[in-house]
Structure 1
Amino acid sequence: MGKHELCAVAAGMPDWLPTAVRHYVQHTEAGLTIRQLARVAGCHASTVMRQIRRMEARRDDPLVDAALRRLSRREGAALPERLDPEALRVLRRLSEPGAVLAVADGMQKAVVVRETGAGTQVRTAVLDAAMAQAMALKDWIACRKTGRVAQYAITGAGRAALARQAAPPVGMAEAAAPFEDAPARPRTPRYGPAEAPIQALARRRDGQGRPFLSDALVAAGERLREDFELAQLDGRQGQDWSRFLTGGVAGGWPGDGAVSGPGAARARLAAALADLGPGLGDVALRCCCYLEGLETAEKRMGWSARSGKIVLRIALQRLRRHYDETLGPGGPLIG
């Protein structure tokens, strides 16, 4: 069998599919021999054999097994054609301390939850089960606990994929940069790359030993950030969120009557920021959505030092009240 016949066998498979997965499906479902696959791939037959054996062993993973069933027997909806930006959004959430992806057998959705300092859990992302299966095939997530509800954590490959997306491109423009005007060494950020300011504040204690931010306030900030991220998934370019900063939080997105998906998330975000008003909406957008540090936010807003955390707590309190009044306590599933 030549390359043309092999391409016909691989028709319908997403472009992002790893080579090992392609070889496994072509061998087990299409009946291609290991030597045929190795000849077309230009590698030794033992390499293809190891790939197939490894994929067979990975079928103990519920998400991997379900994804291979979709590919081989076309069961249920097809795997997504592309992984970004949805998968990268989920990887950012999974890179947060204490975050896991939970998925139940037979459910069409998976959720990302994160443990708080008080031992409770807050939901930070919702995604389709097909997307979770694709991430497992890419080896970006791995099963840490099996059972009625399986739990997955981000892997080293997943963190590497997230780092590649966040890394600036290296090209000739960077190589031609002058050396004499090198910028000063940046200060060490107050928050890690995977930690939002509200997560750091939630670990702090007030004068009476209570958490500076309650779990309910953290959940309100996470809901705002989730809507902010979901609103980016509709492919619109150049969305100007700065119009919601000080002096521009009034008004929403005219003509956007969507009831689900990115359009609904954009409407929820606009309504929440409009309810917060100038100042409070500004600090909520900067710290919860842009993950801007409190020191930076204080300087840009012209506030005194260490006042930002107080204003942010007031904004989260009003944000929680907004969600309780519009969506009810806890609110519906996002996504």
Structure 2
Amino acid sequence: MENNMAFTIPAWVPEGAQRYLAHTETGQSIRDIARSAGCHASTILRQIRRIEMRRDDPLVDAALQSLAQTHFAEPEAKPDVMTTGLSAVTPEEAAAARDERFNREALRILRRLCETGSVLAVAEEMDKAVVVRDSGDGGATRTAVVDCEIAQALALKDWIACDNPGRISRYRISTSGRTALSRLVAEAENKARARSEFGMAEAQSPFHAQMAQGQGGEANTNRPKRMRYSVAESPLIALARRRDRDGKPFLDEALVRAGERLREDFELAQIGPQVAQNWDHFLTAGGRGSFGSEAHGGRGSSDARGRVEHALSDLGPGLSDVALRCCCYLEGLELAEKRMGWSARSGKIVLRIALQRLKRHYDMQAERNRMIG
């Protein structure tokens, strides 16, 4: 039964949930499941009891119901291939695509849930869940939207947890969710590195070297340490919690949104064939080399790259430095000040000025788009 389950339900479903469904939906005895799994029956019994106790969680209960209806209903005549447009997709390929989508969505949502004050809110009988972040003064900002089926999967895997389920249940990232996020980030970096090394071998840039993971040995001792995506929160979120002399947030929500908009375009620009994009010509400190956007083969996410280049060019030297480091590379203020040779505690002032200029840039772009036509 264990081997068959791997072909009938998604790979993300935890082993305990697979065995629970095999017992409750097919009537397979605990001893038979234990015999197939090669473990003691008491182990299977504990797993099944644990899943049963978790059914008070609305997302866990909905996930189990959905899996039961989809994969354990009365068998019907199912074709060996599914047609999508003019192409044929086998069940295995469709399952792999679903698992890939889950990992991508899980990475996106878990990143947001790691930000301080963030929760995933789920309302009864709604097909979408939202991630909201406490912005202070009783306000909240929506930072992400996700299908409920993805939220159900996150809950079933115990990556998010709810202390008090209700009409609107609020979930927070769990310890196992943080561990899973670190793994997903590493996997995403490895895939991006593989695409860069095998698809664009000639496009070696300082940023690519900064992101590449050292493999050990003398050849890598002088390589810059790669930048890891912060699994805690961005520097902007931490700075927005601080207060100025008047007791107001040092960065208001509009400035944070401007910085996160730049960061989103920056991340989009790394997707696709051109993952080794070199942004270091915007770093005046250190005298980086010249750069030409047409020097790299493949367009990649050209629109996103164009938006980032336009925004950084509008900021100009100095301001583009701190915006690129803190908003895109996610460097902390102390590290940015050290690398740029600034005095202590001056970085936050320059960063706020950069974000104000960046917000004005986006406002002008929006006004220009409204005037077209």
TM > 0.5 fold call: yes
1:200 aligns with 2:196: no
2:30 equivalent in structure 1? 34
Question: Within 2, Cα distance between the matches of 1:250 and 1:318?
Answer: 25
Question: Within 1, Cα distance between the matches of 2:311 and 2:59?
Answer: 35
Shift of 1:296: 2.1
Preserved CA contact (<8 Å) 1:245 1:282: yes
Shift of 1:314: 1.4
Question: Within 1, Cα distance between the matches of 2:20 and 2:62?
Answer: 14
1:286 aligns with 2:322: no
Give 1:81's match in structure 2, choosing from 79, 99, 109: 99
Partner amino acid, structure 2, of 1:31? G
Instruction: Give aligned pairs, total.
Output: 301
Query: CA, structure 1 residues 215+304, in 2 after alignment: closer, same or farther (shift >3 Å)?
Result: same
1:20 equivalent in structure 2? 16
Question: Within 2, Cα distance between the matches of 1:59 and 1:263?
Answer: 46
Give 1:143-182 correspondences, 5 Å limit. Answer: 143-163=162-182
Alignment TM-score, normalising by the size of structure 1: 0.73
Partner amino acid, structure 2, of 1:294? L
Determine helix, strand or coil for the equivalent of 2:7: coil
Alignment TM-score, normalising by the size of structure 2: 0.66
1:116 aligns with 2:135: yes
Deviations 1:279-334 (CA, angstroms, capped at 9, x unpaired): 32331221122221223223333444433212211121122234445468xxxxxx
Query: CA, structure 1 residues 271+80, in 2 after alignment: closer, same or farther (shift >3 Å)?
Result: farther
From the two aligned structures, give the one with the greater helix fraction.
2
1:52 equivalent in structure 2? 48
Query: CA, structure 1 residues 102+324, in 2 after alignment: closer, same or farther (shift >3 Å)?
Result: farther
Determine helix, strand or coil for the equivalent of 1:200: helix
1:321 aligns with 2:360: yes
1:219 aligns with 2:257: yes
Give 1:173-322 correspondences, 5 Å limit. Answer: 194-229=232-267, 234=271, 238-243=275-280, 245-246=282-283, 269-322=308-361
Percent of pairs with identical residues:
59
Query: CA, structure 1 residues 145+224, in 2 after alignment: closer, same or farther (shift >3 Å)?
Result: farther
1:11 aligns with 2:7: yes
Name structure 1 gaps, 5 residues minimum.
Answer: 182-191, 329-335
Preserved CA contact (<8 Å) 1:244 1:282: no
Query: CA, structure 1 residues 278+70, in 2 after alignment: closer, same or farther (shift >3 Å)?
Result: farther
2:153 equivalent in structure 1? 134
Preserved CA contact (<8 Å) 2:273 2:298: no
- Cα RMSD of the aligned pairs, angstroms, is 3.9
Shift of 1:154: 1.0
Partner amino acid, structure 1, of 2:333? L
Question: Within 2, Cα distance between the matches of 1:267 and 1:138?
Answer: 39
Determine helix, strand or coil for the equivalent of 2:120: strand
